[in-house]
Amino acid sequence: MFVLRATAKLRQRIGPSTSHDGEGSTTLLGDWYATMLPWRPQVALLVNERTLLPALIPLAPAATMPARVAEQVGEVLAAHGVPDPVIRAEVDQMRQWRIAPTANRSVVGVMNEFASLADTWRAAARPNLVDLALRLGATPCSPLYKRHVSPDRELAAFVQQISS
């Protein structure tokens, strides 16, 4: 089970909060943060709290978006070269979810920066959301400067650590 920490605007579209206080994700990567990008067609931007790894998913139909997150995250992880057993375990755990409000302002700040960059780069990546997520994942993020600098490197280090 994972917790999808959505912005207020996105929660209005996908449904109300369903998590209970203190309930956390049971997945390796933990909670995912999400916001809505007002593109045509609309897209949801997801950012992992642990690694700051971004993923993008079509929003429509909004009510089913949380159920589709697992498959999209699996595609992004595969594009980053994560081993298949790790991807399968993560996707299987993500089949159940809870919706909650955002709780980490640092992750929300990174998500806002990714949203701005995604707006700038989307014409070059259209319509491939995985390619755009890969490009965003190589972006240096200040919360990662003392560790691995960018989400893609943070993910690689995390996968290496759990595989050892």
Condensed to tens digits (0 to 9), the pLDDT of residues 26-79 reads 899 999 999 999 998 999 999 999 999 999 999 999 999 999 999 999 999 999
Cα dist from 35 to 19, 52, 120, whole Å: 18, 14, 17
Q: Residue 104: which of 15, 44, 14, 25 has the closest Cα?
A: 25
The rounded distance, in Å, linking the Cα atoms of 162 and 85 is 12
Asked whether the predicted pLDDT for residue 96 surpasses 80, the reply is yes
Q: What percent of the chain has pLDDT over 70?
A: 96
Residue 15: pLDDT band (50, 70, 90) is confident
Q: What percent of the chain has pLDDT over 90?
A: 80
Pick the CATH number of 2-163 from 1.10.10, 3.40.50, 3.30.420, 3.90.25: 3.30.420
